[in-house]
Structure formats: structure tokens, C-alpha cells
Amino acid sequence: MKEIEKKIYQILKKIDGNVLAIGLDDDNMLKLLEENNNITECNLLNASSNQKGMKRKIKKQKKNFNIRQLRKKFHKKKVDYIICNMNDIYPYIKTFIKDSVYINRKKLYFYGDMKKYDLDKIISRYKKYGARIEQTFYNNYFLITILNEKSKTNKIKDSWFSLVDFMHFLYEIIGDLLIN
């Protein structure tokens, strides 16, 4: 994990503007976010802050809300960078994908353990919105960079993609039942 931590430290030193960090537990990463003078606003969401689920703590305002309300709290294309630990975001990945395309202006970073997650599904869902994706692998860990600069979304497109994903999910369940 040391190679990927070094890469994330480099990313945290370079970012600027509005940042949303989800699941950053490492004290060194949080310290880098605080020391970076180019960051105008830093929002942190951590699962460890509340037992019921992921909550948000803003340094200035100290408000909490559920992660499923990201679209309500952030306006369209307001956040420049999003950095996510896949361990904390994966239970909410269905709603997070469409919300992250909606609120993100520049780049989105996912990092985590390769063995636990199906990365192909996540990547294919982001490609539907027209986002460019870069993948790097370090031993058993991954870092996915999603460039949302040219991605577009609207309510009709979100509804259509949700329906397609649900139909694909039903197709997989029916196939598993027939095989068993």
C-alpha cells in the first residue's frame, strides 16, 4: 500500500479549489489537505464519524448529512476534485456514480484493494456519461482517475441509465437462479 499512498500524497499536494474527500482515515492525508493553501474549501465525509452511515463534516459549518443527499447539498459542477476510498463508498456506489458526475467539475479519484471490487462495472457506468478513465495498479491496489471535464448528465439520462442498470441486475439474478 506504500506505493499507492505515495501517489495519493502527490495528488493531495497538487489539487486546488473545492475538494470533497470521502473515507480518508490516514492522519498524514488529512494533514496534507490542511496544509495545502490552494484548497479553498475542503469537505470531509467519513464512515467512522457516525454509526448509522457515512456523514459529512465541514470544517467551517459543522453540518452532518447522509451521503445519498450529495446532489442536494452541492450544486451542479461545484466540486473540483473528489477523492474516495472504495471501502467507504462501495455500499453507496449506485447513487454515488450519478451524483459524482453531477457535482464534479474536474477529477475524481478512487483507490482501494483490487480483490474486493468489480472495477469493470464501475468503469462501464462512468463511460456511459462520457468520462475519460485512467487506471493504475500497484501490487494489489488500484487508483482510478475519472476525468469529468467533458461528462454531461441530465435527469432523463440518469433515469435511463438507472433503468438499464436495473435490467442488467435482474438479468444476472435470473441467470444465477436458472444455473443453480
Instruction: Determine, yes or no, domain membership for 176.
Output: no
Instruction: Determine, yes or no, domain membership for 160.
Output: no
Instruction: Determine, yes or no, domain membership for 113.
Output: yes
Instruction: Determine, yes or no, domain membership for 169.
Output: no
Calpha distance 100→104 (Å, rounded): 6
What is the predicted pLDDT for the residue at 146? Answer: 93
Domain of residue 22 covers 2-153
Instruction: Determine, yes or no, domain membership for 163.
Output: no
CATH number at residue 72: 3.40.50.150
What is the predicted pLDDT for the residue at 47? Answer: 56
pLDDT single digits (tens) 113-145: 888 888 888 898 899 888 899 999 988 899 999
Q: Where are the alpha helices (DSSP H) in 23-131?
A: 27-35, 70-73, 86-89, 93-103, 119-128
Calpha distance 21→46 (Å, rounded): 8
Cell numbers standing for residue 76: 451542479
Calpha distance 144→97 (Å, rounded): 13
Amino acid 88 reads D
Instruction: Determine, yes or no, domain membership for 167.
Output: no
pTM score:
0.81
Average pLDDT score over residue span 157-166: 88
What is the predicted pLDDT for the residue at 66? Answer: 66
Instruction: Determine, yes or no, domain membership for 171.
Output: no
Instruction: Determine, yes or no, domain membership for 159.
Output: no
Number of domains in the chain: 1
Calpha distance 126→147 (Å, rounded): 10
pLDDT single digits (tens) 56-110: 444 433 345 567 677 777 878 888 999 998 888 888 888 888 888 988 999 999 9
What is the predicted pLDDT for the residue at 69? Answer: 73
Calpha distance 68→22 (Å, rounded): 13
CA atoms within 13 A on the CB side of 24: 27
